[in-house]
Structure 1
Amino acid sequence: MDQAPGSPQGPQDAQSLPTCYRHPDRDTGIRCTRCERPICPECMVSASVGFQCPECVRNGSGTGHAPSATTPRTLAGGTIPADPRLLTKILIGINLAVFLVGQIRPSFVDHLVLVGKWPPAPFVATEGVAEGQWYLLFTSMFAHQAIWHIGFNMLSLWWLGGPLEAALGRVRFLALYIVSGLAGSALTYVLAAPSSGSLGASGAIFGLFGATAVLMRRLNRDMRPIIALLVINLIFTFGMSNIAWQAHIGGLVAGVVIGYAMVHAPRERRSLIQYGVCAVVLVVVVVMTLIRTSQLV
């Protein structure tokens, strides 16, 4: 039974404490001085008097709002957006738009597919990455042909993207998504047959899997669900012949590395380390691509 405000409370009765309105699994005895909602140490923002919740600081609600209150930040140091899933929705929208255009004009997708070197099969793009079409490493991340393929990837993006976007902030989340996808494309270019075609957001999705596992460990959450889901995906990855496992592994490794930097970087050098690690992974992608290209030309 909930305890009424002001009623006696035993110091050892942890169950009587309210929970943070943004993190229901965390007990807290701190409330926002403006709206009086319970907030945990991660959410509370120092003000001239007491602490405030991120929404009150962002909206400046209430008379006498403290101008000295600091800007609320996510766990990784990003700003807290009004819609924590906005970027996830945009990425899903881009993937769906490309898919729909491809259904109307199938040749459109042919020129987005990751191909190492001409002649590609079964696609009809005129040139591959080895001929200088490096943009295919990026465009292939948004191209799908089968309805089951895009359906599975977009469900995964919605399930993983929202919590990660809220925890990292939009810019960091976008960096994680794009760099993980490029890492998956680069490993596919290096290890797959040059004339084979590869497409799909799976590399970026597996990057989100890796970062989610790191985040859950950082928050001391139960990791069994994400590990079980990852194992199931890896079984499908290596159990089906028409799946580019290289993209999955490349994205997963990049996601773990970038995710660790995002949530474990010390506050005083947080941005430098986070974006520095993203830059290092990008350099690795470029070096891998250059080496593979030298072997194919």
Structure 2
Amino acid sequence: MDTQPGLLRCYRHPEAETGVRCARCERPICPQCMIPASVGFQCPECVRNGSGTGHAAGANQPRTLAGGRVAADGRLVTKILMAINLALFIAVQVVGDRLLDDLALIGGGHVVLPNGEPVGVADGEWYRLLTSAFLHQELPHFLFNMLGLWMIGGIVEPELGRIRYAALCLLSALSGSTLAYLLSPHTQFSLGASGMVYGLIGAWIVLARRRRQDMRPALLFVALNLLITFTRPGISWEAHIGGLVAGVLVTYAMVHAPRARRDLVQYGACGLVLLIDLGIVLARSAALT
């Protein structure tokens, strides 16, 4: 029988060619062995091992591509992040510019208020690196970022699992703010979840390649968004690029980590990105002060 190059053979039915792997153990499975799961398909053994009760069931629960637990609600963390963004958006509409002054990221590290008080990350207000990533002032900006978070987060969160997905979102947001802090013009205020959204876009690219899916939709989406980033005025390209790079790096480590050292590689990659951000912020603050 002729075989197509690149196709695998089912581990239970060696005569059957397949291009699908179990979402949990990654063994090749044919249509006869494919059991639909919340993410992709699983083999009969993984489904059987994860169907017990008590402690054994918890130890053998189906796992995501990155090793996280498969959850019934694949968008729970996404919903929480959107709720935080919505709460701050409403607060800005009620309180006004005073809240923006207190929480937004300030280019160049700091500004001096009319009363002579300096404010900004360089003056110890490090929280702005994260609060600015959940802050929106204009409705179109808020809606565009929330649409991206909902659509792409719905793809990425089930693949990583809740804890890893939350780490990806926070590191992408922080890395976007960090690059904006380093490169944005002096006294420019930056805000919005764009760094986080671009981190998810980077994760989408890595996942599509890891799953051997058609990457053209993801790459086209990235190209269109980068075109908008660099052609429209008033957009913080620094936050977009910082989030995108962090999203690619963190997700690549999560889905390509060897199973025997998965936690070590994943935690190490997240820690490395965090240390790079910390080093940039410390160096920039030292230069400014």
Bin the TM-score by the shorter chain: 0.7 to 0.9
Whichever of the two has the greater Rg, that structure is 1
Q: CA deviation at 1:230?
A: 0.8
Map of 1:30 onto structure 2: 33
Question: Could you tell me whether the CA contact under 8 Å between 2:62 and 2:69 is conserved in 1?
Answer: yes
Indicate which of 206, 220, 239 corresponds to 2:212.
220
Aligned pairs for 1:1-297 (under 5 A) are 28-30=31-33, 37=35, 43-44=41-42, 51=45, 53=47, 57=50, 60=53, 70-106=60-96, 107-115=98-106, 116-119=109-112, 127-297=119-289
* Structure 2 residue matching 1:87: 3-state secondary structure: helix
Q: CA deviation at 1:53?
A: 2.9
Question: Could you tell me whether the CA contact under 8 Å between 2:110 and 2:119 is conserved in 1?
Answer: yes
5+ residue gaps, structure 2, are 1-14
Q: CA deviation at 1:44?
A: 3.3
- Under a length normalisation based on structure 1, what TM-score does the superposition of the two structures give? 0.80
Please give the per-residue CA displacement for 1:148-175, whole angstroms capped at 9, x wherever unaligned.
1110100000011112110000000000
Question: Could you tell me whether the CA contact under 8 Å between 1:43 and 1:72 is conserved in 2?
Answer: no
Q: CA deviation at 1:51?
A: 2.2
* Structure 1 residue matching 2:73: 3-state secondary structure: coil
Question: Could you tell me whether the CA contact under 8 Å between 1:262 and 1:274 is conserved in 2?
Answer: yes
Question: Could you tell me whether the CA contact under 8 Å between 2:38 and 2:72 is conserved in 1?
Answer: no
Amino acid aligned to 1:211: A
Q: Alpha carbons of 1:193 and 1:71: their partners in 2 closer, same or farther (altered >3 Å)?
A: same
- Under a length normalisation based on structure 2, what TM-score does the superposition of the two structures give? 0.82
Mapped to 2, the partners of 1:242 and 1:41 lie a distance apart of 38
Question: Could you tell me whether the CA contact under 8 Å between 1:186 and 1:289 is conserved in 2?
Answer: yes
Q: CA deviation at 1:272?
A: 0.8
Mapped to 1, the partners of 2:100 and 2:88 lie a distance apart of 8
Question: Could you tell me whether the CA contact under 8 Å between 1:120 and 1:197 is conserved in 2?
Answer: no
Q: CA deviation at 1:20?
A: 9.0
Map of 2:6 onto structure 1: none
Mapped to 1, the partners of 2:163 and 2:66 lie a distance apart of 11
* Structure 1 residue matching 2:103: 3-state secondary structure: coil
Q: Alpha carbons of 1:42 and 1:265: their partners in 2 closer, same or farther (altered >3 Å)?
A: farther
Mapped to 2, the partners of 1:79 and 1:128 lie a distance apart of 39
Amino acid aligned to 1:200: G
